[in-house]
Amino acid sequence: MKSNLLIQRQTAQAARKRAAGGFDDERVYVNLHQLNLLQHRARGLSFLPKQPVHSLLSGRHASRIRGRGLNFEEIRVYHPGDDVRTIDWKVTARLRSPHTRVFTEERDRPVLLVVDQRIGMFFGTQLNMKSVTAAQVAALSAWRVLDSGDRVGGIVFNDSAVETITPHRSRQTVEKILQTVVQFNHQLSADSAAQPNAAKFNQVLEQVVRIAKHDYLITLVSDFFGCDDQSFRYLQRIRQHNDVIAAFVHDPSASKLPTSRDFVITDGDLQVELALSGKRMRQRIEDSTSGRIANVLALQNRLQMPVLPISTAEQVSNQLHKLLGHAARSLQP
């Protein structure tokens, strides 16, 4: 007689495979070579304004993405040839001689990639695990930032640990970010002793508040497990002086569970078989996933934060090029 939850563990085999470095299934685990190859696929991506008309970031939800912008330097006497649009008319009237405002263009802006590798990300029903999808989003973003001449740093976290990489404009920094992502990714397994830690999401956001004081671009790459009212408060504080983009990593099963009686989850060694015919089982899973999607939609609506829905069922680079440069898709509950 089948139970609703049947766990078949091949613990010894899994341990031997990991000890031998057996992470060769790129749908389940990432590797540094794979993430480095994404550098050429990052060309053409942009998280800044001046997006194509159909880009997700050109719409109303992206109205606060600032781009590089200008820094005010000083007010000085107007010189012939100065742009008349920079004349400060109040100062001109008070001093009775033309004065103009002088601006300098921002040289760069630090970009902080926040990458989720918690145990809940070790899941996928089609092409990739969520953890693999998140790692690829981070790699594409990091390479694009480096190519644009900006500084890039990262916060990589799982259920128990956080690793911070200070933003720098160097290939070595990008490689350090990707190496950290790979390290955290390889700690994931179906027989892991890690307990899902919803509170870690807000702990990481609190750390972002301390780091990103002004003019950062923060890209959150996560399934947003643990996103709640406190998350909104942290994000409001972060957005006062920074820009934030949410890359919401989701699996198609979050919106529609398979109707098959036998739903098998595996990491290549361990298998979990769920019988989804039971109404209570389906209802619990659907309530959990729909609630999380509702929270992410609230980020988009309440905070006017761009949300990029990234599916585990499609190639990540293709999705980002569509979302940031072609026909954008809306996230639906």
Q: Average pLDDT, stretch 69-87?
A: 81
User: What value, to the nearest 5°, has the Cα angle with vertex 327 and ends 321 and 333?
Assistant: 100
Pairwise CA distance, residues 141 & 158, whole Å: 20
Three state DSSP letters for 208-257: HHHHCCCCCEEEEEECCCCCCHHHHHHHHHHHCCCEEEEEEEECHHHCCC
- Among 195, 265, 221, CA closest to 131: 221
Contact between 218 and 247 (Cβ < 8 Å): no
Structure-token match 């341990």, residue found: 15
% of the chain beyond a pLDDT of 70: 70
Question: What is the distance between the alpha carbons of residues 68 and 222, in angstroms, rounded to a whole number?
Answer: 25
Evaluate if residue 13 carries a pLDDT over 80: no
- 2 vs 284: which has the higher pLDDT: 284
The residue whose two tokens read 């040289």 is 107
Which residues in the chain belong to E strands, given as ranges?
Answer: 5-8, 70-77, 99-105, 111-116, 152-157, 162-168, 217-222, 243-250, 262-266, 271-275, 307-311
Percent of the chain past pLDDT 90, that is, above it, reads 48
Amino acid 82: pLDDT: 82
Tell me the CATH architecture of domain 5-65+108-325. Answer: 3-Layer(aba) Sandwich (3.40)
CB-CB contact of 117 with 178 (8 Å): no
Q: What is the mean pLDDT of the chain?
A: 79
- Which sequence spans correspond to the domains of the chain? 5-65+108-325, 70-105
Average pLDDT over residues 216-240: 94
**Span 118-156, pLDDT tens digits:** 999 998 888 999 999 999 999 999 999 998 888 999 999
* pLDDT tens digits, one per residue of 100-116: 988 765 556 899 999 99
